[in-house]
Structure 1
Amino acid sequence: MTGIADGRVVVVTGAGRGLGRAHALAFAAEGAKVVVNDLGVGLDGVPGADSPAGRVADEIRAAGAEAVAHGGDIATDAGAASLVASALETYGRLDTLVNNAGFLRDRMLVNLDEDDWDAVLRVHLKGHFLTLKHAAAHWRAEAKAGRAPRARVVNTSSGAGLLGSVGQGNYSAAKAGIVALTLVAAAELGRYGVQVNAIAPAARTRMTERTFAEAMAAPDAGFDAMAPENVSPLVVWLGSPGSAGVTGRVFEAEGGRITVMEGWRPGPTADKGARWSPAEAGEAALKLLAEAGAPGAVYGAD
């Protein structure tokens, strides 16, 4: 089995279902050896009794590719370290890390408990950080030993992290943090041969089934735009040697559409050359706002 990821060892977190499963299968179809990570939790992050990671690994092996399951908690230091170790011990190398794991605990801000805030930030943002940290430590050691890697990291943000989403303050904050983490990691790790990018996918998963209810109710007869498999080709390319030179970027992916997202950039500006009074600052701000483009709408806002 050959393809653009031929011979690469790829770790995918949250790969037991939805987008993660689609990514794992797509990498395997392109010749990669896949470490399938999934804790096997429900939508609220509570562990279940089954092992979705094992089922996906079996599915990959049945198709003639190589895979191993990992059921550790990547939002703990030990779990993230064991995930990287699983790739190295099983296949002797690690080439690509796809951070995908996450879950939801949606509440309006006034009803959002501290535990719900902490749980979502822990899995989405801390889970990205810890796996990235341990993978990067391995790649840095390889580079210092003269074995420069062609390593790739694909992080998973969201439109909620780019524009905000009503009722998802915890999720939006975590996904926005992932974008910033991606930019920092790309800047820090490039010297070691590591490229780091992020995607903001829109697809049908357990997490989004209510959001995309209308689109799922009447899919196009010839093309299911909300299928998670539509996102995976971009992820596989970003995780392959073919993406050489692409780093520190954020892509939206939905159906057959790919968009390069452009983040915060300086817009209209005014400089008095001295300290403003509050009234002057307000007058200047209003003039600048009149020259600026309108911000994107927050998802779910009236």
Structure 2
Amino acid sequence: MTGLCAERVVVVTGAGRGLGRAHALAFAAEGARVVVNDLGVGLDGTGGGASPAQDVVDEITAAGGEAIAHGGDIATTEGAASLVAAAVDGFGRLDTLVNNAGFLRDRMLVNLDEDDWDAVMRVHLKGHFLPLRHAAAYWRAESKAGRGRRARVINTSSGAGLLGSVGQGNYAAAKAGIVGLTLVAAAEMGRYGVQVNAIAPAARTRMTERTFADTMAAPDGPGFDAMAPENVSPLVVWLGSDAAAGVTGRVFETEGGRITVMEGWRPGPTADKSARWTPAEAGDAALDLLAAAEPPHPVYGAH
């Protein structure tokens, strides 16, 4: 490895398995000191027990790296604050935050109850906001004290948040919210040396291997395993390093060997009457504009 992240202190949430584990190992391989966060819950966010975070820490230290485990709930103020404190107290600083933790409670909208909505919003959206909020406060204080950091945040959205996904109304809404949060944080925190970007990964994890079993399956024989979570981590490591200077407020889709810069909402065809429309006139204008517009990408799972 090249030591791209040598001496950087990196926090990865939900890093006990899947994408988070791959990110933590990849950062450590590039010289970072890593705080491995994981609550150790099941796929639906329930249960718990022994956190897999320590297993990842043991794997990193066995390879000669430095890492510590954090088992707090990052969707609580106390847990998020202690996450930042773990980095600062354990390694003396915080340079990069990777928000990755999440789980699924998939239902069609007519069967999606309030508890399932709240739980997914809590872990994905609030679980991004609170660590970001506490890390941002730390970086602002460091900047004001003359110790500005070349700080980095990588948030985890999803194709479901960009395009929608049938049966995942709660998850899609939360992941779309993460994109909005990313854009605001990038605009607000740039003055303190903080760059904020998001990824929309596709990979084989506990959350995808059941829902998309056919497309996520590992190849039977030798060859490139396009859906391995390790394929996503190189971009995350680069975004979390000094090498990504100037890159902020962006969303990248990444899958296998493919990286795409996603281009979000932009003004398309426009009509301006310079006066109030009647409903009928507004409808006619809308139909003309739609005829001239690019068609939307289909929602995942739509037939």
Same fold (TM over 0.5): yes
Residue in structure 2 matched with residue 284 of structure 1 by the alignment: 285
Give 3-state SS (helix, strand or coil) of 2:281's partner.
helix
Q: State the partner residue of 2:132.
A: 132
Q: Contact 2:203–2:216 (CA<8 Å) still a contact in 1? A: no
* Aligned amino acid, residue 226 of structure 1: M
Q: C-alpha distance in 1, partners of 2:51/2:278? A: 62
Partner SS for 1:147: coil
SS of the equivalent of 2:198 reads strand
Judge conservation of contact 2:43–2:206 (CA < 8 Å) in 1: yes
Residue matched to 1:8: 8
Counterpart of 1:178?
A: 178
Moved more, 242-251 or 217-226: 217-226
Q: Unaligned regions of 5+ residues in structure 2, if any?
A: none
Q: Which residue of 2 aligns with 1:245?
A: 246
TM-score normalised by structure 1 residue count: 0.98
- 1:53 is aligned to 53
Q: CA deviation at 1:214?
A: 1.6
Q: For the Cα contact (< 8 Å) 2:183–2:249, is it kept in 1?
A: yes
Alignment-derived partner of residue 299 in structure 1: 300
SS class of match (1:46): coil
For residues 100 and 218 of structure 1, do their structure 2 counterparts lie closer, same or farther at Cα, with a shift above 3 Å needed?
A: closer
Q: Distance in 2 between matches of 1:236 and 1:21?
A: 13
Cα distance in structure 2, aligned partners of 1:256 and 1:230: 7
Quick check: 1:160–1:299 contact (8 Å CA) kept in 2?
yes
How do 1:70-89 and structure 2 match up within 5 A? 70-89=70-89
Matches within 5 A, 1:18-167: 18-167=18-167
CA distance in 2, matches of 1:282, 1:35: 54
Any unmatched runs of 5+ in structure 1? none
What residue identity is the alignment partner of 1:197? N
What do residues 93-117 of structure 1 show as CA deviations (whole Å, max 9, x unaligned)? 0000000000000000010010000
Equivalent residues of 1:39, 1:47 under 8 A apart: no
Shift of 1:60: 0.5
Q: Deviations over 1:180-207 (max 9, x none)?
A: 0000000000000000000000000000
Q: CA deviation at 1:213?
A: 1.6
**Partner in structure 1 of residue 266 of structure 2:** 265
SS at match of 1:198: strand
Shift of 1:218: 5.8
Q: Which residue in the other structure is 2:187 paired with? A: 187
Aligned-pair identity in percent equals 83
Kept in 1: contact 2:218–2:225 (CA 8 A): no
Aligned equivalents of 1:282, 1:218: Cα separation in 2: 49
The alpha carbon displacement at 1:49 in A equals 1.9
Q: Aligned-residue CA RMSD in angstroms? A: 1.0
Q: For 1:164 and 1:51, how far apart are their aligned partners in 2? A: 31
Tell me how far 1:51 sits from its aligned partner. 1.6
Q: Which runs of 4+ in 1 moved over 6 A?
A: none
How far apart are residue 2 of structure 1 and its match?
5.8
Report if aligned partners of 1:154, 1:235 keep a CA contact under 8 Å in 2: yes
Q: Distance in 1 between matches of 2:129 and 2:179?
A: 11
CA contact (8 A) 1:57 1:69 kept: yes
**May I ask how many residue pairs the two structures share in their alignment?**
302
Code of the residue aligned with 1:283 in structure 2: it is D
Instruction: State the Cα deviation string for residues 3-42 of structure 1 (Å, max 9, x = none).
Output: 1000000000000000000000000000000000000000
